[in-house]
Amino acid sequence: ATPTALMVGTGRGAQLGILIKGPEVLENTRRVDTVVLDKTGTVTTGRMTLQEVYAADGTDEKLLLRLAGALEHASEHPVARAIAAGAEMEVPPLEQGDLRGPAGRLPSAEHFENVPGRGVRGRVEGHEVAVGRFFDDLPPDVARARDEAERRGRTAVVVGWDGAVRGVLAVADAVKETSAEAVRELRALGLSPVLLTGDNRAVAEAVAAEVGIDEVIAEVLPEDKVAVVKRLQDEGRVVAMVGDGVNDAAGLATADLGLAMGTGTDAAIEAGDLTLVRGDLRVAADAIRLSRRTLATIK
Ligand code: ADP
Ligand code: MG
């Protein structure tokens, strides 16, 4: 390939809102036939809001929200931000001069631990609290609350403390307005879209249906996203991946072409070959189109 044509492609990319690591990455797009799309923050906005609070029998709903909110306040995850914000709205302001808690409203958490792809754990108000996917055996009422929330397309996380399951919090995220159009454009370019997520299957299927994706790979732990990319490559597919999270970085690096959302984490941006500056998925199609045109002028 002639360097001049590739440099022109790079310049045009910048105009479209695509930052290209080096001109040579454009060559990798030539044979791409599959595009793996992360769900949260890539196909969806990642700006989740708390929608449902379910407290098991004998559990105080306000206490549940306060303990879970205090813990999630220390995490950056979109699920965590929704729960912390929702809890802050519910928790009455503390007495003036009371300086407990990071936000001055929620109590503080000790021994905080973030477990990627699962949730958070720590000590709040003397209780050992866990929020996320830590509990295998759920009481029937809690399991029902979780399943119903998931059927409504929400992400449900289980809250427990001191060894007992206490309830469920459900958060919801909106699909970006541009995602369905982006999927149509990617298909028009001959690419097969695959939705990849750590979230539960029901939520993943609901999002996939909304944007027009048939192939869904859900409930994948962060460390296994890269294995999914490798498996697709072993099947002979040439894979582009679009992602935004820390949990997408290894996949972006392994994919034949890694596209990072500019609105995402530094880890994803460093791992990607391209950055989509505005976080608009349609620009992924622009990037593939641009590089194909650039390469065509070289031939
Ligand atoms: P995605 O692949 O969609 O970006 P993640 O791998 O980050 O999602 O998370 C997968 C799942 O793990 C979430 O849907 C949620 O159930 C659980 N989880 C992750 N982080 C948290 C947290 N801070 N609090 C509660 N649950 C969490
Ligand atoms: Mg994500």
Q: Are residues 130 and 200 in the same domain?
A: no
Q: Are residues 126 and 270 in the same domain?
A: no
CA distances from 279 to 57, 95, 296 (A): 43, 41, 27
98 has pLDDT over 50: no
Q: Which residue has the higher pLDDT, 265 or 297?
A: 265
Q: Are residues 41 and 178 in the same domain?
A: yes
pLDDT for the residue 170: 97
Rg of the chain taking only CA atoms, in angstroms: 21
Q: Are residues 178 and 168 in the same domain?
A: no
Q: 78 is written with which tokens?
A: 């979109």
Q: Are residues 154 and 119 in the same domain?
A: yes
Q: Are residues 185 and 277 in the same domain?
A: yes
| CATH, residue 96 | 3.40.1110.10
Question: Which residue has the CA at smallest separation from atom 20 of ligand 1?
Answer: 119
Question: Which residue has the CA at smallest separation from atom 7 of ligand 1?
Answer: 117
The b/e string for 109-128 (b: 16+ C-beta within 10 A; e otherwise) is beebebeebbbbbbbbeebe
Q: Phi-psi region for residue 16, left (φ > 0), alpha (ψ -120 to 50) or beta?
A: alpha
262 has pLDDT over 80: yes
Average pLDDT, integer, range 100-110: 71
Interface pTM (ipTM) of the complex?
0.93
Average pLDDT, integer, range 265-294: 92
Predicted confidence (pLDDT) per residue in 217-248, tens digit: 999 999 999 999 999 999 999 999 999 999 99
Q: Are residues 34 and 70 in the same domain?
A: no
Mean pLDDT (the chain, rounded): 90
Q: Report residues whose beta carbon is within 6 angstroms of any ligand 1 atom.
A: 38-40, 72, 75, 77, 79-80, 117-120, 131-133, 155, 157, 197-199, 222, 245, 247
Ligand nearest to the CA of 249: 2
Question: What confidence tier does 298 reach under pLDDT thresholds 50, 70, 90?
Answer: low
Among 79, 115, 219, the mutation site with the greatest number of ligand 1 atoms within 8 A of its Cβ is 79
Give me the number of domains the chain comprises: 2
By DSSP bridging, strand 257-261 and strand 274-276 are parallel
Q: Of 132, 156, 172, which marks where a domain is finished?
A: 172
Instruction: Quote the CA–CA distance of 38 and 225 in Å, as a whole number.
Output: 9
Predicted confidence (pLDDT) per residue in 133-180, tens digit: 999 999 999 999 999 999 888 999 999 999 999 999 999 989 999 999
Beta-carbon neighbours within 5 Å of ion ligand 2: 38, 40-41, 244-245
pLDDT for the residue 2: 63
Q: Are residues 183 and 289 in the same domain?
A: yes
Instruction: Describe the strand order of the beta sheet including 18-20 as a list of residue ranges.
Output: 18-20, 274-276, 257-261, 239-243, 34-38, 192-196, 215-217
pLDDT for the residue 31: 86
Q: Are residues 227 and 245 in the same domain?
A: yes
pLDDT for the residue 163: 94
Question: What confidence tier does 273 reach under pLDDT thresholds 50, 70, 90?
Answer: very high
Q: Are residues 62 and 128 in the same domain?
A: yes
Q: Are 91 and 108 in contact (CB under 8 A)?
A: no
Average pLDDT, integer, range 115-137: 95
The boundaries of the domain holding residue 232 are 3-46+174-298
CA distances from 160 to 2, 37, 83, 113 (A): 60, 32, 14, 15
Q: How is residue 198 annotated by DSSP?
A: S
Question: Which residue has the CA at smallest separation from atom 17 of ligand 1?
Answer: 118
pLDDT over 70, % of the chain: 91
pLDDT for the residue 290: 85
pLDDT for the residue 196: 98
Q: Of 172, 200, 218, which marks where a domain is finished?
A: 172
pLDDT over 90, % of the chain: 75
Q: Of 172, 207, 235, which marks where a domain is finished?
A: 172
Tokens 């001049």 correspond to 4
Q: Are residues 60 and 147 in the same domain?
A: yes
Q: Are residues 160 and 227 in the same domain?
A: no
Ligand nearest to the CA of 244: 2
pLDDT for the residue 6: 67
Question: What confidence tier does 102 reach under pLDDT thresholds 50, 70, 90?
Answer: very low
pLDDT for the residue 23: 74
Q: 146 is written with which tokens?
A: 């979780």
Which residues pair with residue 175 across a beta bridge? 44
> pTM to 2 decimals?
0.79
pLDDT for the residue 96: 47
Question: Which residue has the CA at smallest separation from atom 14 of ligand 1?
Answer: 199
215 has pLDDT over 70: yes
Question: What confidence tier does 30 reach under pLDDT thresholds 50, 70, 90?
Answer: confident
